[in-house]
Amino acid sequence: MKLIEKTMNNFIKEEEKEDGSCIFQTIEVAKVDHRSNVSPPPSAGTTTPLLEVSTGDELSLLPPLNFAMVDNGIFRSGFPDSTNFSFLRTLGLRSIISLCPEAYPENNMQFLKCNGIKLFQFGIKGSKCLPGLENEVWLHLRKHQKEGSYTNGNSKTTEPFVNISDYKIREALKVLLDEKNHPLLIHCNRGKHRTGCLVGCMRKLQKWCLTSIFDEYKRFAAAKARVSDQKFMELFDVSSFKNTPMSFSCSSI
């Protein structure tokens, strides 16, 4: 772990593997005491209106693309932008897990700073399978799994058209399972594939059957559902999390 930048209210930490490749970076931002903005109670005899009409951002409660609740204190979506900030503020977020490798936008960073939200960034590159090659990807994985040359998480076998990182998903799951980070939002670009894989692996910890995991994945991915993503979730080994504290129901392994 090395400290790569420090400012008055902003610390960015980047964790590296032994080979020097980046695993993820954590960005801590200043917390804001919202109590200072609380209005004093009305004096006796003052009439309080039943509905206070507001203008501007206070009425713009627009959720991000593909927004949904995953579990208590856990939400998912596509990449949020400034039109979604008022809505996100209502969630009282403590943390955001971003699965995109690109630098976080300045507007978003300012929003995190103003609301005391910590960013966990696990850069997983988006991937697109060429038409008609999804089944070939799965046949490739099955072939190496049977031969013993494919081990999910530590494989040296090149996975064509599959860029989901088993190690980064595991690291993201550790953040996701830690209640100190809740309420928490998971997002990638469109809230479909990378986010769907992380949520699907969490569902395995909750003892969901594969049919239910895939049904949830397809509800968000729709026509863009990928066989390779579903096979990644199927092969994902959750045994290493058996001693990890979890607040979810049906979480015993």
Q: List residues with catalytic annotation.
A: 188
The count of other CB atoms within 10 Å of the CB of residue 203 is 22
C-alpha angle with apex 22: 125 to 96, nearest 5 degrees?
65
Q: What CA–CA distances, in Å, run from 31 to 3, 10, 115, 122? A: 20, 10, 6, 22
* List of residues 6+ apart from 230 with CB closer than 8 A: 200, 214, 217
Give kind and range of the element (H or E) at residue 186. strand 184-187
Find, among 229, 210, 230, the residue nearest to 161 by Cα.
229
Distance, in Å, from the CA atom of 234 to the CA atom of 250, rounded to the nearest integer, reads 19
Structure tokens at 55: 């203008």
Q: Among candidates 78, 89, 98, 113, which has minimal Cα distance to 7?
A: 113
C-alpha–C-alpha distance, residues 188 and 200, integer Å: 14
Q: Measure the CA–CA gap between 192 and 24, rounded to whole angstroms.
A: 20
Distance between CA atoms of 20 and 17, rounded to whole angstroms?
5
Token pair 């199927």: residue: 234
